[in-house]
Amino acid sequence: MPAKKAARVQERRRIINRRVRSSTRTAVKKAVRALNGRSDTAGAAVLTAVSRLDRAVSKGIVHRNAAARSKSRLTKRLNATASE
């Protein structure tokens, strides 16, 4: 692939990746906020965050072990708040 075309493709992918990474981080932050506030929507927020993390992994934006670690921490906190 010629260098100029590769640069154009990289730029397009960078923008898409940034959008996915940003929405993933936002979903995780919302889940953490819901868990801290002991909100009724915490379960739904955690499910959304897990879904976004899985989508980012499938697109190769987040490493699968990093996503697994985040999902584990979120579900651990969710279960801790549910048992109280």
* Average pLDDT, integer, range 49-74: 97
User: Does 48 score more than 90 pLDDT?
Assistant: yes
Q: Which of 32, 36, 33, 41 is nearest to 71 (CA)?
A: 32
Range of the domain at 74: 3-83
The domain that holds 38 is classified in CATH as 1.20.58.110
* Average pLDDT, integer, range 28-38: 94
* Average pLDDT, integer, range 51-71: 97
Q: How many residues does the chain have?
A: 84
* Average pLDDT, integer, range 44-68: 97
User: Does 21 score more than 90 pLDDT?
Assistant: yes
* Average pLDDT, integer, range 2-14: 96
Q: Which of 77, 79, 67, 72 is nearest to 25 (CA)?
A: 67
For the chain, the domain total comes to 1
Q: How far apart are CA 82 and CA 18, in angstroms?
A: 33
Whole-prediction pTM value? 0.88
